[in-house]
Amino acid sequence: MESLLYSLLFTLVKVLIVFLTALGVGAYLTWFERKLAGHIQNRLGPTVVGPFGLLQPIADAIKLATKETVIPRGADKPVYYMAIIMALVPSILLLAVIPWGPGFMVNGKYIEPIIADVNIALLLAFALGSLSVYGTIFSGWASNSKYAFIGSLRKAAVVIAYEVVLGFSVLGVILLAGTFSTVGIVEAQIQKGVWFIVYQPVAFILYLYCMLAESGRVPFDIQEAEAELVTGYNVEYGGMKFGAFPLAEWYVNVIALSAIAVVLFFGGWDGPKILGPLSPYFWFVAKTFALVFFTIWLHWTLPRFQAKDITEIAWKILLPIAILNVIITAVVVYIF
């Protein structure tokens, strides 16, 4: 009984550390993105609040939290609130299956820096990734606004195209590793001494496309399309309710999907031991942040596709490549 209570408490502490850190980093990514966008566009970005504008996210959070609640007339109130929950919960829960480093012993107790080391971790990650689309659909439906409605239907078009490709693109990695467990996949790469991107470069490119599409980043951000839909599905949300959507989709989701990409293709916490016992964590965070940086960089560089082109690229080009990749990988794995 004592040990059960102890382990429950320990899990709660782990959950709080991971989630609150991720949300804090997500909030600070807004500052980073604005700064980066500023320098890409030959501006300075935020400079006023604090040194280098570093206190800007805190000022934004206070401003968003103290705003008045405005719900458009004719809105479906329960669904209107549920959209926020459906957008945030799956994105945050994705962080539960990410292994931040190898397990270690403290006082004769084995501790793993992962919230839930389940053997279906990847399946869970993709299920949660699919669930997060309901946040967009609900918000578009509940707001009683044409802009939000069109935005959410466009998001549906993107999701029906990239769900399938995402499923097929990771099959190659699972074939090589022989497990769904995120810890198992990283250990398989360390054991082989090769990151899976060397064996599966095509799968990584497909995954990258799907990651951008799932998190609504450029060039697949037609559901937001500032110029035509004035940010689309969340146009009728205000205050912290508005803040929840970009936080979930653009920041927490991108962090989580980048971390899963690192697990699948870049060897997880594998890397030279330059910081002693902390180096696995350093390498994991550094690789994840490199991918996040790449995503934000693309966001401020590329134009966006039409909904028509996005679905047709996925079904006519990416899906055949993904299926061929799976079959070829299976044959090669069988021969060797």
Partner 1 sequence: MEYVALGIALIVALLIALGQAFINDILGFKKRDPLEDYPYECGVPLYDKEARGTFKQGYYILGLLLILFDIEAAYLFPWAVVFKDIGIYGLIEVIVFVGILALGFIYAWRKGALNWEM
Q: In terms of CB distance, is 60 or 117 closer to partner 1? A: 117
Q: For residues 26 and 254, is the Cβ–Cβ distance under 8 A?
A: no
Q: Residue 213 interacts with partner 1 (CB under 8 A)?
A: no
Other CB atoms within 10 Å distance of the CB of residue 152 = 25
Burial 11-31 (b: 16+ CB within 10 A, else e): eeebeeebbeebbebbbebbb
Tell which positions 104-123 bind partner 1, by CB under 8 A: 115-118, 123
Q: Quick one: which of 166, 136, 118, 104 has its CA closest to 319? A: 166
Q: Read out DSSP for 224-252?
A: T-HHHHTTGGGTT--HHHHHHHHIIIIII
Largest CA distance in the chain: 64
Tell which positions 311-330 bind partner 1, by CB under 8 A: 311-312, 315-316, 319-320, 323, 326-327, 330
Minimum distance of partner 1 from residue 142's CB (angstroms): 9
Of 31, 180, 265, 266, the one binding partner 1 by CB under 8 A: 180
Of 44, 111, 160, 275, the one binding partner 1 by CB under 8 A: 160
Minimum distance of partner 1 from residue 260's CB (angstroms): 15
Stretch that binds partner 1, among 99-107, 171-179, 198-206, 292-300 (CB under 8 A): 171-179
Of 33, 163, 214, 249, the one binding partner 1 by CB under 8 A: 163
Tell which positions 244-263 bind partner 1, by CB under 8 A: 244, 247
Tell which positions 65-94 bind partner 1, by CB under 8 A: 65-74, 81, 84-85, 88-89, 92-93
Rg, C-alpha atoms of the chain? 21
**Site mask for partner 1 (CB under 8 A), range 274-313, x = bound:** ---------------------------------xx--xx-
Minimum distance of partner 1 from residue 308's CB (angstroms): 4
One-letter amino acid for residue 28 of the chain: Y
Q: How far apart are CA 328 and CA 310, in angstroms?
A: 26
Q: For residues 293 and 258, is the Cβ–Cβ distance under 8 A?
A: no
Q: Residue 240 interacts with partner 1 (CB under 8 A)?
A: yes
Q: How far apart are CA 234 and CA 226, in angstroms?
A: 11
Of 241, 287, 299, 304, the one binding partner 1 by CB under 8 A: 241
